[in-house]
Amino acid sequence: MTEEVKETINRLIGRFPKKESALLPVLTLLQKRKGYISENDLKDISGILDVPEARIFSTASFYTMLRLKPAGKYHIQVCTNVVCALLGSDAIFDYLSKKLNIHEGEITPDGLFSIVAVECLASCGNAPAMQINMEYHENLDTGKVDEIIDSIKRREVGG
């Protein structure tokens, strides 16, 4: 962790009455900087915030917006919870997996896409649903998945 990052973290800590209260903002900061939170980050944060590493890990692994592994430029989270599952999310996941030629937790060789199955995205009324980075895509079927992925690919090729 660079000195610049440590300084930013210390500024964040200064906004809270207890160091530990800065945990989520600190994790969010690290995630934004390089797309995920590494094992070394967990150790460093533990030292800086004076919080056991296990508690930091449990917090970081609880929130799906935080990642403990590198991800693609477009990180696809497919909801496979009950409502989405009843409406075909497993088939959507398999379709995406085949289309991108990657499995759960993998990144495409060009670094563009990664895919994971997640718990409820709170979009049950429009299931099946997936989230790509911060954007929601709902009422999915394979045709919609094609449109979404192909449009991202076209955008990337066009610059």
Positions touching ligand FES (CB under 6 A) are 79, 81-84, 120-124, 127, 129
Question: What is the C-alpha to C-alpha distance for residues 122 and 126, in angstroms, rounded to an integer?
Answer: 9
Task: Work out how close the CB of 136 gets to ligand FES at its nearest, in angstroms, rounded to a whole number.
Answer: 9
Nearer to ligand FES, 1 or 124 (CB): 124
Task: Work out how close the CB of 49 gets to ligand FES at its nearest, in angstroms, rounded to a whole number.
Answer: 32
Question: What is the C-alpha to C-alpha distance for residues 99 and 96, in angstroms, rounded to an integer?
Answer: 5
Task: Work out how close the CB of 120 gets to ligand FES at its nearest, in angstroms, rounded to a whole number.
Answer: 4
